[in-house]
Amino acid sequence: MIGVGIAIVSIIISGVALAMQAGLNDRIKALSSTTDGSTQQKAIEVGAPGNDPNEFWIFTQELNADEEAVGIPVAVYSLPEITVHKGDNVTIHFYNPAEEADDRHTFTMLAPYEMNHDLAGGENQTFSLTADKVGRYTYYCTYDLPSMIGQLEVLP
Ligand SMILES: [Cu+2]
C-alpha cells in the first residue's frame, strides 16, 4: 500500500517536472524565434565594471620596429575594434602620446561617419558620433595606411 502511494507520488512529480520542462522549452523558443520562423541566438554582451559601453579611449602607438626595414608604417591604434548598437551616442577619447610633435596621427572615417581628427604628438581630442547606420566602418590614420586601421561595428 505504501509502495503504491510512493509510485503515484513519483509519477505526479515527474509529470510536473516534464510539464515545467515543456513550458521552459516554449519560452526559450519564443525568445529565439524570428518573424520568418527561423531561430536566432541572441548575443550575450558583458561589460567591464563601471564602464560606459559607449565611451572609448584610443591611443596611437608606434611599434618598436624599424619602419624602413619593414617597408610599411608600424603604427597602430590601441583599440582596433569598437562595437556599438544602432542609435547609440558614442564618445571617443583619442590620444596621440608621441613625444615629438611632428609624429602626427589621425582618426579618420569616410561617409556616413565622415570625420578627420588630426593630432600632433602630445595632443588629445574627445569627439562623438551617433551610430545611426548599421554596418562595419573602417577608421584609419591618413599618415599610416595601409596598416593603421580599425573597425567600427554598428549592430542593429
Ligand atoms: Cu598614424
Give the distance (Å) from ligand 1 centre to CA of residue 85: 27
Q: Which fold has domain 55-155?
A: Immunoglobulin-like (2.60.40)
Considering the entire predicted model, what is its pTM?
A: 0.73
Cβ of 66: how many Cβ atoms within 10 Å? 8
Q: How far is CA 120 from CA 62, 103, 104, 123, in A?
A: 14, 6, 5, 6
Distance 5 CA to ligand 1 centre (A): 79
**What pLDDT score does 40 carry?**
67
Q: Which part of the chain is CATH 2.60.40.420?
A: 55-155
- Sheet with 115-119: list strands edge to edge: 81-85, 149-155, 135-140, 105-109, 115-119
How far apart are the C-alpha atoms of 96 and 129, rounded to whole Å? 20
- Residue 105 to residue 108: CA distance in whole angstroms: 9
- Count other Cβ atoms within 10 Å, centred on residue 117: 18
Low-confidence ranges of the chain (pLDDT < 70): 1-40
Q: What is the pLDDT of residues 18-47, one digit of tens each?
A: 444 544 444 444 444 456 666 667 789 999
Distance 142 CA to ligand 1 centre (A): 7
C-alpha 120 to ligand 1 mean position (Å):
10
Residue-level pLDDT at 34 = 54
pLDDT digits (tens, 9 = 90+) for 137-147: 999 999 999 99
